[in-house]
Amino acid sequence: MTSAKASPAPLGGGPPAGHVPIRGRGLLTLLLLGALTWSLTTVPWGEPLVHPGGLTVLGEMLVAALHPTVSAEFLGIALAASWRTVAYATAGVSLAILLAFPAGVLASGVLVRHPVLRALTSGASRALLGVLRAIHELVWALLFVAAIGLSPFAAVLALALPYAGILGRILAEILEDVPPGPLAALRAAGAREWQVLLYGRLPQAFPNMVSYALYRYECGIRSATIMSFVGLGGLGYQIQISLDDLRFREVWTFVYCLVVLVVLVDLWSGVIRRRLLA
């Protein structure tokens, strides 16, 4: 009677044949499935998901969407609110770019060659950018309203700080991912790191930087709308007033104004992107 031969162990002491280790994407998938399962167990399934009058209100809202308020006087209010929303978004994102540029350059570490000093400056800048973007713009708005009142500066600062954190982080990654060939040529010619940044990194990174800044500007229009719910004026403030009085036709007028703004900004940014890549 012959005994079955054991399958040889793989070279290098690896796992036996037929064994698939859980790593990378597999582990992430298990974590996501576990989080989904846990979240489903916390839902109070025995309670009604919609209150008794919810379907009636939903029907009224859908009907109102087909008949928005379009009187000349009300359209004037909607245009004024839209203009204020655009002003908040433009000023906030512009200030965010001014704050994000030096912070992003420091976070990338491209100006420092010494490894220890580079790690310190990059780590401190990344930590600051992380704190800025960790706090939602609506929370910043509540903090600034409590500090300086219902001022346009509260809206601009509340939008600028978190967007500076986002833009600075992306700028740092764009600068790090610049192809090294032209940079090595500049260093071989005796250029310092700030010259390499100015004449090598920034020209190559500029199209991506502008493209992402325009995308964040489009997001800034929506953020300015949400932020104005705290009473700073704009489309969000007007939507809240109309919702409180159950004037759904007015609500949809303001919503359509927001949609038009986002579409116009998207078309405008698309033209600029195509010109940069041409």
Residue 139 CA to residue 109 CA, distance in Å, equals 30
Residue 119: alpha-carbon gap to chain centroid: 26
Secondary structure of residue 8 in the 3-state scheme: coil
Q: Would residue 271 count as lying in a domain?
A: yes
51-79 pLDDT, tens per residue?
A: 666 778 788 888 889 999 999 999 999 99
Render each residue's pLDDT in the chain as its tens digit; 278 residues: 444 444 454 544 445 554 445 566 788 888 889 888 898 888 777 666 666 667 787 888 888 899 999 999 999 999 999 999 999 999 999 999 999 999 999 998 888 878 888 889 889 999 999 999 999 988 998 899 889 888 888 889 999 999 999 999 999 999 988 888 888 888 888 878 888 888 888 888 888 888 889 889 989 998 888 877 777 788 988 998 998 888 999 999 999 999 999 899 888 888 887 887 76
89-98 pLDDT, tens per residue?
A: 999 999 999 9
What pLDDT does residue 41 have?
84
Residue 254 CA to residue 117 CA, distance in Å, equals 51
Residue matched to tokens 């997001």 = 219
Q: Would residue 163 count as lying in a domain?
A: yes
- Token pair, residue 111, equals 């100006």
Q: Would residue 25 count as lying in a domain?
A: no
Q: Would residue 253 count as lying in a domain?
A: yes
Considering only CA atoms, which of 179, 177, 176, 196 is closest in space to residue 188? 196
Task: Report the domain count for the chain.
Answer: 1
Phi-psi region of 112 (alpha: psi -120 to 50; beta: other; left: phi over 0): beta
Q: Would residue 188 count as lying in a domain?
A: yes
Residue 3 CA to residue 119 CA, distance in Å, equals 60
Q: Would residue 269 count as lying in a domain?
A: yes
Q: Would residue 22 count as lying in a domain?
A: no
Q: Would residue 4 count as lying in a domain?
A: no
The parent domain of residue 127 ranges over: 69-277
Look up the CATH number of the domain holding residue 124.
1.10.3720.10
